[in-house]
Structure 1
Amino acid sequence: MMRPCGSPKVLEQRRHRSIALLKEGYTPVEVARRDRRSVRRWNAAYRKQGEVGIQARPTPGRPPALDAKGKKRLEKILLKGAKAAGFATDLWTCPRVAQVIWDRFEVDYHVDHIGRLLHGLGFSPQKPTRRAIERDEDEIQRWVKEDWPRVKKTLRA
């Protein structure tokens, strides 16, 4: 059986609403509108255990290696930049993030998992724009101010 959509809190609210409707006299079919087995299961748990029987439970599984405080600290480290963390350039890569996590928290994450971890923190993959080494910002500004207006006018003529 697939887990229904929604956070544990939303699912708990759905179960409470179902119990309230059953108490009002609705049938499990009317309450469920799809599969009455769920409503019957919730009702049985409620009758047997009361409110505790329909409360949201912690999700099973292995706890994350980096807890919420550690993730907040990692986020601050990442926002300061890779140079501040001791790297030559300011570009974060998954291997670099894995290295920082190991150095600061002594937690070993596989490089392939770092992307998922970063996505969970709200980061997305970014690639810096490539710029020529010979690029001269002063010359570009001069060209935009002096030459571009002349070129722009001739194109419209």
Structure 2
Amino acid sequence: MRPHGSAAELEARRLKALDLIRQGWRVKYVGVTSTTASTWKNKPQHVPQCRLDARQKQQLAAGFPTDLWTRRRVAQVVHEKFGIEYNPDHLCRILHDLGFSCQKPERQAREQDVAAIETWRAEDWPRIKKGAKQRS
């Protein structure tokens, strides 16, 4: 079960516990389990800093000429424009910070005739639908 507190409070608790353990305090007096303390000592948690600065992020937000962005395409653009390699799976945080969310545009034919579609829906579809009911 996760302890109560904000991320900053939990980080402060973790750092204080590690400091006490390094000073020679026994784990049971620090208030964490020995497994937790061992994990903290062996695998320090850190969040890597973003290698893109604010200006580069804004340039990235300018986008692609098409509607569909994929993480792989974004990684490609970051590498080509800024010379920074990112694993496509780690770009979600940057894109989220820029206000993007996962979406996929609907595909539509360029030759689509909206008036013809509306006419078909208004005239032909009711006739076809009635015919299907009568045949049943």
The two structures have a TM-score, normalised by structure 2, of 0.50
The two structures have a TM-score, normalised by structure 1, of 0.44
